[in-house]
Structure 1
Amino acid sequence: MGKVREDQLCLREEQTKLITRFGEIERQYNELQQEAELIAKQSAMTGIKLSLMLGILKAREGGDLVQAADLTRFLGEIVSLEKAKAILADAQG
């Protein structure tokens, strides 16, 4: 009977270790998922800014200074919003 009891205790210890390890893996998965979402959002914003920059260059090449100024202003607003978000995020923790 002692051997069975010992085996049961060993199994419980292993089960506890596995549950703990599974929790850690799940936490890491969630963290990686959040990081991937952040990278995707940053990539999308970078694409938008690059498109605006290209639009500015094309407008200047075409002599459409009003369009270039509008796009430049819009790009500046996007950059300002990103900076404000970064400052707010740093302040929150």
Structure 2
Amino acid sequence: MEEINEEQKNIRELQGELREKIEAIDLECEQLREETMMVRQQSANTQIRLAILKARQNHDFAQASHLTSTL
């Protein structure tokens, strides 16, 4: 009986440790999602800036103005 109690105690401890690890992984996943969204937004803004430069280079100032307003 004492062996069973000890095993149950060990199982509960392991379950607690696993819960903590899962929570840490969930937190890291959320942080990575946020970082990914930031990188995507920065990339989109960079593409718009490049399009603005290209429009200016081609003397398409209306397009450059429109793109500038989207930033």
TM over 0.5: yes
Q: Which residue number in structure 1 is paired with residue 9 of structure 2?
A: 9
Q: Which residue number in structure 2 is paired with residue 26 of structure 1?
A: 26
Over the matched positions of the two proteins, sequence identity in percent amounts to: 26
Distance 2:6 2:33 in 1: 40
Q: Which residue number in structure 1 is paired with residue 64 of structure 2?
A: 71
For the pair 1:42 / 2:55, whether they are aligned, the reply is no
Q: Given the two structures, how large is their TM-score scaled by the length of structure 1?
A: 0.66
* Consecutive unaligned residues in structure 2, runs of 5 or more: none
Amino acid at match of 2:4: V
Give the CA deviation at 1:71.
3.1
Higher RCO (CA-CA < 8 Å; seq separation 6+) = 2
Amino acid at match of 1:50: L
Distance 1:54 1:15 in 2: 58
Give the CA deviation at 1:2.
0.7
Say how many residue pairs are matched.
70
Distance 1:45 1:52 in 2: 10
Give the CA deviation at 1:21.
0.3
Q: Given the two structures, how large is their TM-score scaled by the length of structure 2?
A: 0.86
* Consecutive unaligned residues in structure 1, runs of 5 or more: 79-93
Deviations along 1:6-56, one digit per CA (max 9) or x if unpaired, are: 000000000000000000000000000000000000100000000000001
Amino acid at match of 2:11: L
